[in-house]
């Protein structure tokens, strides 16, 4: 049995009310609770007030903003709803796929898109009971001052383990944050930072209100590839989002733009660079998959922060990149 | 420090229920230890196993990760309510019995609630793959799942007969 620590709960009805409550000292935002409650049970945080977003209806909308050319998805939309929503499936199939592969159906019925984007970083030395952690004296992210993943390391390397984040960055999505000081919009590519203790630039008093994903302006193919030990429940151990913009609506058309984003490395997702060689090549050319897999393998260095050996996961990054592209080609 | 208790009002298995709860209590703790509804099981207590699955407004959720105060005004159904709703033994429970789909039985209440939510949502006979997908958050360490899937498919057929 894992008991929650004591706290007060507030259930505001609007974003403004929630922002006012969140400005109080010791306040902490919670949406579906599927990430936060286990962490509280493990005593990784001790907030005095949980500000629940469950009753904030304005966070639950999915709408096309034709003028801005974006799909606006409320941060409070459940992952089940994201994965099944006709607009998401039509315009952003890789996002629907990623949302539908988070954890289990039960958790997707509770967890939200905003919660998945803000999923706390994870590490095999952190996501344990307080009793377990006491045996190793904690670590940088919990009660201690050492890193068990990188001996001598002064920087926490707990893994960004969201399924949706690599996909959203590959689609050039932006996040809208709200607080009593107003609102701001920033690209998700600039949202994460390399510190597992504070891996986003969101201030504690800010609420993620909305994700804005640009609608496709031309033909493209997108994929999300996830490998975990079990096909359900588990967090990803290999996580790759791919996006190819094409000159025509066929897999033998030339690639006009490519984005590849990899998760579960350190505390921020990594955008794979130096992919220019595949621009102008047909997606169906086997050399394209080989070239991209090679760049992924060269640039992504998994750590022993999550289960399974880092060298194995590095090899699997290349394997799953090749397989994901092969699937796109086979689907036509 | 523990915050003051508050009055939670909701519907549990069709009955209007009022219970004093502390804000940090989970729905599972309130069901099991305050309302004596011990059908929902406390397994991993952190969202991995699905043994605590209940329905909130008909949607299967994990009671161990739901704050009790979050079901204010909502309708909670536990495995106790499943049988009551069917006037004794629900067709799913009957199918589990006939197919020997429960061995130790610890996971069964959660699996019944997830399976019932599937059958009520689709209202037609289901395929084994649909059952696998719907039960992907419920672990069973005894059966190997085969008999559970057979039982849910069978129940869905019987429920669809006129």
CATH number of the domain within which B46 lies: 3.10.20.30
Single out the residue in B47, B78, B109 at which a domain terminates: B78
Residues of chain A neighbouring B48 (CB-CB closer than 8 A)? 233
Within a domain: residue B1? no
Average pLDDT over residues B94-116: 98
**Does residue B61 sit in the same domain as residue B87?**
no
Contact B13, B77 (CB under 8 A): yes
Query: A193-218: per-residue pLDDT in tens?
Result: 999 999 999 999 999 999 999 999 99
Nearest by CB to B46, from A2, A9, A104: name it. Answer: A2
Q: Is the dihedral of CA B77, B78, B80, B86 positive or negative?
A: positive
Contact A104, B136 (CB under 8 A): yes
Contacts of B15 (CB under 8 A, 6+ apart): none
Count of domains for chain B: 2
**Residue B1: band (very low, low, confident or very high) from pLDDT cuts 50, 70, 90:** low
Tokens of A139: 């670590």
Single out the residue in B56, B78, B100 at which a domain terminates: B78
SS (H, E, C) chain A: CCCCCCCEEECCCCHHHHHHHHCCCCEEEECCCCCHHHHHHCCCCCCCEEEECCCCHHHCCEEEECCCCEEEEECCCEHHHHHHCHHHHHHCHHHHHHHCCCCCHHHHHHCEHHHHHCCCCECCCCCCCHHHHHCCCCCCCCCCCCCCCCCCCCCCCCECCCCHHHHHHHCCCEEEEEECCEEEEEEHHHCECCCCCCCECCCCCCEEEEEEEECCCCCEEEEEEEECCCCCCCCCCEEEEEEEEECCCCCCCEEEEEEEEEECCCCCCEECCCCHHHCCCECCCHHHHHHHHHHHHHHCCCCCCCCCCHHHHHHHHHHHHHHHHHHHHHHC
Average pLDDT over residues B102-111: 98
Q: Which fold has domain A57-119+159-214?
A: 3.30.465
Domain extent at residue B97: 82-160
**Does residue B108 sit in the same domain as residue B69?**
no
Query: A271-322: per-residue pLDDT in tens?
Result: 999 999 999 999 999 999 999 999 999 999 999 999 999 999 999 999 999 9
**Does residue B36 sit in the same domain as residue B53?**
yes
Q: Is B77 helix (H, G, I), strand (E, B) or coil?
A: strand
Average pLDDT over residues A154-181: 98
Nearest by CB to A232, from B22, B67, B136: name it. Answer: B136
pLDDT at A42 over 80: yes
Percent of chain A topping pLDDT 70: 100
Alpha-carbon distance B117 to B101, whole Å? 18
Within a domain: residue B100? yes
Query: B109-162: per-residue pLDDT in tens?
Result: 999 999 999 999 999 999 999 999 999 999 999 999 999 999 999 999 999 987
CA A53 to chain centre: 19
ipTM confidence score: 0.97
Question: What is the homologous superfamily of the domain A220-331 according to CATH?
Answer: CO dehydrogenase flavoprotein, C-terminal domain (3.30.390.50)
> Inter-chain contact A4–B25, Cβ cutoff 8 Å?
yes
**Does residue B98 sit in the same domain as residue B156?**
yes
Within a domain: residue B110? yes
DSSP assignment string, B104-134 = S-SSHHHHHHHHHHHHHHH-S---HHHHHHH
Query: A43-89: per-residue pLDDT in tens?
Result: 999 999 999 999 999 999 999 999 999 999 999 999 999 999 999 99
What residue spans define the domains of chain A? 57-119+159-214, 220-331
Give the B window 100-159 contacts with A, CB below 8 Å. 114, 133-134, 136-139
Please tell me if residue A52 touches chain B, with a CB cutoff of 8 Å: yes
**Does residue B30 sit in the same domain as residue B70?**
yes
**Residue A182: band (very low, low, confident or very high) from pLDDT cuts 50, 70, 90:** very high
């Amino acid at each position: 049995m894992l008991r929650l620590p004591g706290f007060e709960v507030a259930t505001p009805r609007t974003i403004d009310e929630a922002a006012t409550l969140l400005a109080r000292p010791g306040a902490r935002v919670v949406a579906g609770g599927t990430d936060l409650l286990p962490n509280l049970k493990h005593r990784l945080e001790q907030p005095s007030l949980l500000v629940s977003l469950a009753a904030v209806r304005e966070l639950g909308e999915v709408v096309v903003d034709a003028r801005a050319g974006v799909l606006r998805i409320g941060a409070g939309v459940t992952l089940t709803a994201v994965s099944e929503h006709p607009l998401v499936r039509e315009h952003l199939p890789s996002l629907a796929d990623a949302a539908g592969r988070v954890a289990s159906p039960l958790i997707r019925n509770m967890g939200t898109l905003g919660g998945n984007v803000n999923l706390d970083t994870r590490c095999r030395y952190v996501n344990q009971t307080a009793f377990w952690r006491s045996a190793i004296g904690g670590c940088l992210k919990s009660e201690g001052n050492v890193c068990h993943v990188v001996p001598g390391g002064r920087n926490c390397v707990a893994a960004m383990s969201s399924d949706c984040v690599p996909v959203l960055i590959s689609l050039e999505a932006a996040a809208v944050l709200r607080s009593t000081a107003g609102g701001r919009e920033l690209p998700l590519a600039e949202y994460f930072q390399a510190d597992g203790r504070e891996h986003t630039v969101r201030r504690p008093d800010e609420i993620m209100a909305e994700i804005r994903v640009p609608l496709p302006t031309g033909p493209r193919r997108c994929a999300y590839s996830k490998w975990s030990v079990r096909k359900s429940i588990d967090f990803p151990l290999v996580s790759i989002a791919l996006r190819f913009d094409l000159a025509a609506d066929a897999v033998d058309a030339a690639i006009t733009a490519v984005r590849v984003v990899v998760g579960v490395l350190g505390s921020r997702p990594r955008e794979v660079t130096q992919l220019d060689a595949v621009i102008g090549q047909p997606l169906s050319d086997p050399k394209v998959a080989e070239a991209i897999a090679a760049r992924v393998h060269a640039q992504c260095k998994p750590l022993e922060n999550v289960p399974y050996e880092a060298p194995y996961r590095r090899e699997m990054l290349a394997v799953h990149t090749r397989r994901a592209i092969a699937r796109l080609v086979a689907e036509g | 420090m523990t915050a003051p208790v508050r009055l939670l009002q909701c519907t549990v298995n069709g009955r209007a229920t009022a219970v004093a709860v502390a804000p940090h209590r989970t729905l599972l703790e309130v069901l099991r230890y305050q309302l004596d509804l011990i059908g929902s099981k406390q397994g991993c207590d952190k969202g991995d196993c699905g043994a605590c699955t209940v329905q909130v407004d008909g949607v299967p959720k994990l009671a161990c990760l739901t704050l009790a105060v979050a079901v204010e005004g909502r309708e909670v159904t536990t495995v106790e309510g499943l049988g009551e709703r069917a006037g004794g033994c629900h067709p799913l429970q009957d199918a589990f019995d006939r197919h020997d789909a429960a061995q130790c039985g610890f996971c069964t209440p959660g699996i019944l609630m997830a399976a019932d939510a599937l059958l009520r949502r689709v209202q037609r006979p289901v395929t084994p793959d649909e059952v696998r997908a719907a039960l992907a958050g419920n672990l069973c360490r005894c059966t190997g799942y085969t008999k559970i899937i057979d039982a849910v498919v069978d129940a869905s057929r019987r429920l669809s007969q006129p």
